[in-house]
């Protein structure tokens, strides 16, 4: 048998290389297919094997699986390791994800400068997530000088290509008039684009727009519709706003009281420690609807709200101390609480310190009124 000539050997080796590459690509494709089917344990074995051969896309996926604990125990350090391997080969998705790790100090020492560099590299290659993340750094002045115009430009790039978080962020800039002239119509356009794709923050924002009537006629039913969409995804602020929208003017409207109580309670269950406790506390303080007076619960809820940033919580605690609701009257303690609320700009507390509670009904209306300002 004749030995192969040099030219034949080159051809044979080339064909072997192509066959091997195709096989490797086929293996990775199968691993990604399993990943997309959420068969993480099976996917992990294939993807890990391909990552070890030096495949940048496999290394990116392996980093993501370690980051999320998919098919393997969650391990941020391993995630950083494999993202870094992929970044060394220029993978733009890994650049963004590694930047997130540096941005938050996950598995590596927090380094905003490094995060900024990686986001910039990825964004320049058209990664919409990186464009959004880089925009957030410019918007918040994290790792770079605050620049709303630059943030607007980056959000616009990502929003035009369908990034729902960027669409929402762009709408916020239009609402606030930062980096661009205020334009409620354009804000509504981008909120709607994001909300219709299911982004809970944008759905909540749509509720706020219709509740406040920003660029559109105020529409309670539309506000409720959008708040409920966000609430269905567990968005606590929408639940709190629903509680306030259902808070009835008619003391005998038992069904509305039930709705208000339900939504405030759900908001608290989903982590709202600021707004919903105030509303639920008022229901217990006054014994509204089917719910009897429960001063101990009201005091606890007002305290929770106050300690988490609702300054009018301090005011209502003052009311309970001054009038002895569920406790001995303590005017000295009441004045301390009113001062705390007044220092944060709570109008009824300021009026109380200056004039006392001269007209209880008017005071009560003014004190409850902030409850109906939607929580952005």
The domains found in the chain, sorted by start residue, are 32-125 (1.25.40.10), 146-233 (1.25.40.10), 239-372 (1.25.40.10)
* Sequential DSSP letters for 208-261: HHHHHTSSS---HHHHHHHHHHHHTTT-HHHHHHHHHHH--SSTT-HHHHHHHH
Residue 25 confidence (pLDDT) above 70: no
Residue 251 confidence (pLDDT) above 60: yes
Q: What is the pLDDT of residue 116?
A: 98
Q: What is the mean pLDDT of residues 255-273?
A: 97
When pLDDT is cut at 50, 70 and 90, the band that residue 90 belongs to is: very high
Q: What is the mean pLDDT of residues 237-249?
A: 95
Residue 1 confidence (pLDDT) above 60: no
Q: How far apart are the first and last CA of the chain?
A: 82
Tokens 């929770």 correspond to 304
Residue 228 confidence (pLDDT) above 90: yes
Residue 71 confidence (pLDDT) above 90: yes
Cα distance between residue 11 and residue 32, in whole Å: 31
Cα distance between residue 316 and residue 322, in whole Å: 10
Neighbours of 369 (CB within 10 A): 12
Residue 24 confidence (pLDDT) above 50: no
Q: What is the pLDDT of residue 249?
A: 81
Instruction: Return all residues near 57 (Cβ < 8 A) that are at least 6 apart.
Output: 28, 86, 91
SS3 125: coil
> What are the Cα distances from residue 59, in Å, to 72, 127, 232, 310?
15, 18, 35, 46
Residue 199 confidence (pLDDT) above 50: yes
When pLDDT is cut at 50, 70 and 90, the band that residue 373 belongs to is: confident
Percent over 70 (pLDDT), the chain: 89
Helix axes 112-124, 128-140, angle to 10 degrees: 140
Cα distance between residue 342 and residue 339, in whole Å: 5
When pLDDT is cut at 50, 70 and 90, the band that residue 12 belongs to is: very low
Q: What is the pLDDT of residue 8?
A: 52
pLDDT one-digit tens code per residue, 275-299: 999 999 999 999 999 999 999 999 9
pLDDT one-digit tens code per residue, 342-357: 999 999 999 889 887 6
């Amino acid at each position: 048998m004749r030995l192969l000539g040099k030219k034949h050997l080159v051809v044979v080796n080339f064909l072997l290389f192509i066959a091997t590459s195709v096989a490797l690509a086929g293996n990775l494709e199968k691993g990604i297919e399993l990943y997309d089917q959420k068969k993480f344990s099976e996917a992990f074995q294939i993807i890990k094997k391909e990552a070890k051969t030096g495949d940048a896309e496999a290394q990116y996926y392996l980093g993501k699986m370690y980051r999320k604990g998919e098919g393997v125990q969650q391990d941020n350090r391993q995630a950083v390791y494999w993202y870094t391997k992929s970044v060394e080969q220029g993978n733009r998705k890994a650049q963004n994800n590694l930047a997130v790790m540096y941005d938050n100090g996950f598995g590596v020492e927090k380094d905003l400068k490094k995060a900024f560099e990686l986001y910039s590299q990825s964004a320049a290659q058209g990664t919409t997530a990186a464009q959004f993340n880089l925009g957030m750094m410019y918007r918040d002045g994290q790792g770079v000088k605050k620049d709303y115009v630059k943030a607007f430009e980056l959000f616009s790039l990502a929003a035009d290509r369908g990034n729902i978080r960027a669409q929402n962020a762009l709408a916020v800039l239009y609402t606030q008039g930062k980096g661009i002239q205020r334009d409620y119509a354009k804000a509504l356009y981008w909120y709607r684009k994001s909300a219709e794709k299911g982004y809970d923050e944008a759905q909540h924002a749509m509720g706020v727009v219709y509740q406040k009537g920003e660029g559109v006629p105020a529409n309670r039913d539309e506000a409720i519709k959008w708040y409920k969409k966000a609430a269905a995804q567990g968005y606590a602020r929408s639940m709190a706003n629903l509680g306030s929208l259902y808070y009835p003017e008619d003391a005998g409207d038992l069904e509305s009281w039930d709705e208000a109580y339900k939504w405030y309670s759900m908001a608290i269950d989903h982590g709202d420690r600021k707004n919903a406790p105030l509303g639920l506390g008022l229901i217990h303080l006054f014994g509204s609807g089917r719910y009897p007076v429960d001063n101990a619960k009201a005091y606890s809820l007002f305290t929770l709200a106050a300690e988490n940033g609702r300054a009018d919580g301090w005011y209502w605690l003052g009311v309970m101390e001054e009038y002895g609701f569920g406790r001995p009257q303590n005017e000295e303690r009441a004045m301390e609480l009113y001062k705390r609320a007044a220092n944060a700009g709570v109008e009824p507390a300021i009026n109380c310190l200056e004039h006392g509670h001269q007209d209880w009904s008017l005071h009560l209306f003014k004190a409850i009124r902030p409850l109906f300002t939607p929580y952005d």
